[in-house]
């Protein structure tokens, strides 16, 4: 299936996300800090990045902007993973370059549907 990079600092959220993705048949790459995640993305060229917004070293929106401005990773879709669900938060993630938005706690059916939707939109001809 797909190679998906999860950038998430919470061990509990990482374990849940990895379990859902692996049970769906995907290969999961992991990073618990943004800088490490950027390095993994550049080196491994995943099919998708799931980006936590609150990370200890660099916020996920800044990390997403960095991914999108790097020619090596600009085409990799990014889905924001966030506990923030206030009005305007999704707009902020989209403005930073995120292609999708999932709130925590993760609800597996909706989560997998968003992964599929983002990848389908990326595959559609322009």
Among residues 111, 118, 103, the alpha carbon closest in space to that of 19 is found at: 111
Rounded to whole angstroms, how far apart are CA atoms 97 and 73? 12
What pLDDT band is residue 86 in, cutting at 50, 70 and 90?
low
Taking only the tens place, the pLDDT of each residue in 104-115 is: 889 999 999 999
> Which pLDDT score, from 0 to 100, does residue 125 have?
65
Range of the domain at 99: 3-123
Mark residue 58 as left, alpha or beta (left: phi above 0; alpha: psi -120 to 50; beta: remaining). Answer: beta
pLDDT band per the 50, 70, 90 thresholds, residue 126: low
**Contact at 8 Å (CB) between 47 and 2?**
yes
Tell me, what CATH number does 75's domain have?
Answer: 3.40.50.2300
Overall domain count for the chain: 1
Q: Is the pTM of this model over 0.85?
A: yes
What is the model's pLDDT at position 72? 96
Quote the DSSP letter at residue 30. Answer: E
Calculate what percentage of the chain has a pLDDT beyond 90.
79
């Amino acid at each position: 299936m797909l190679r998906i990079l999860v950038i998430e600092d919470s061990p509990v959220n990482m374990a849940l996300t990895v379990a859902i993705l692996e049970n769906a048949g995907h290969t999961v790459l992991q990073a618990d800090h943004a800088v490490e995640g950027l390095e993994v993305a550049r080196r491994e060229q995943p099919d998708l990045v799931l980006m936590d917004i609150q990370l200890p070293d660099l916020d996920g929106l800044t990390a997403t902007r960095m991914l999108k401005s790097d020619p090596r990773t600009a085409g990799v879709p990014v889905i924001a993973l966030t506990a923030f669900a206030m009005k305007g938060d999704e707009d902020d993630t989209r403005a930073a370059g995120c292609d999708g938005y999932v709130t925590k706690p993760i609800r597996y059916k909706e989560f997998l549907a968003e992964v599929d939707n983002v990848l389908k939109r990326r595959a559609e001809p322009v």
